[in-house]
Chain A
Amino acid sequence: MVNGLNLAFQFLDSFAFVVLAAAGLAIIFGIMGVINLAHGEFILVGAYATTFAVTAAGLPLPVAMVVGSLVTALFGIAVERTIISGFVPNWIGQRTVGRDLIEPLYDRLADSMVATFGLSLVMVQSARILFGNSIETVGTPFGNVAYGEFSYSTYRLVLAGVSILVLVAAYYVFTRTTFGTRVRATMADEQTAKALGVDTERTYMLTFGIGSGLAGLTGALFAPVLSMQPTLGDQFLIEAFVAVVVGGPSVVLGTALSGGVLGAVSATVTNLTDSTTFGRIALLLAAMLALRFLPGGITGFIERVRSRRQEGE
């Protein structure tokens, strides 16, 4: 019974971690075809901004988290305008040498990986130069829940709850709002969307901003439980990456399902081997197998099964 509870908590932990890590990345990858290897560093921005908001500006934690997310979102928009779409450099280029200087990174998967990795290097090192090797942390709120001889941080339960909220909110935005419709139209067929009057440039910019904001939110949420170092983004990156790709084309459902599956694998192995390291390894191996055997990701697989079912006998 106790072990079952342990397992349940480990699962919630893994699930929340994967979903929150992946949310922002999934949106950017799914919609813009850009792989943001600086995603971990966006989380860093959110975490640091939140921490500073508390330690330097004395804001209460929830407010600080909002601040952290917003800062990251704005930063993301700045990045989008300069590096991803090349808007600013090209604007400069048009006025100086009369031509575009760079091409947008949309749908250039390999190039976007390399470029954003460069960005992440700059960000991590800048953080180290500006703020040193670590900064003062924010304490974990809420205390613990006790059961048997174990106790579990209540805050981590909160995180699990928030991760579900994020999924629900994303689903709502995608399917129920005008903005969401525009986004899905652009995702499906950019040319047609443009022809129908959708400002695809602005959609991309806002989407990247939202994805960055979500990354910032993740950083903000995890700030109380992590050690604040410039490299804190690393632990999120691979899991996020893997969850996005294993999830497949459907942004919300894919993230939810891969969070569930990968979280379950990780939690089970962690429970059995008593080692989070092996849990992590198991998660990564499971992801490799998923990529090999389910080339469209989980939701891609579901779609294929559904269409095959449609074909009838």
Chain B
Amino acid sequence: MNKHPYVRAYLAGIAIPTAVLLLVMTGYTIVRYVYDIPVPIEKVIVFPMAAVPNAWGLWNVLYLAFLAKPKRHFSLGLFGGALPLLLAPGGYVVTRLLGFAVPHEVYQIAPLALPVGLIVYYLVWKYFVGFLNAELGIA
């Protein structure tokens, strides 16, 4: 199975956020329309729906192209763990561009949320994306 390794890397990358997105969207829909929470998240939902899964896929392609074996072996967990350093500012820029009023609590919790996000991304990339890469023969 040596054909199209970058396509397989892209597909392995987008699999996890795409699956999680289904759960997150269900949760947001229930919270927004069943419990009438006054946060118009649909204005900025384009970021997790479109940008994040594609970023994961492209990040995995970059890893395969430049950092994976046999060229050199850099930790997939550390590489994936660095992705929030791009996504967090990206998400913030999207909210600003679309005029979304970010709740004040988000700014208060951001210094704690970023390290937690880095840890979550490190673990998810190391174990889940790594598993998918191995299953697709590109690990």
> A and B: real partners?
no
B interface with A by C-beta (< 8 Å): none
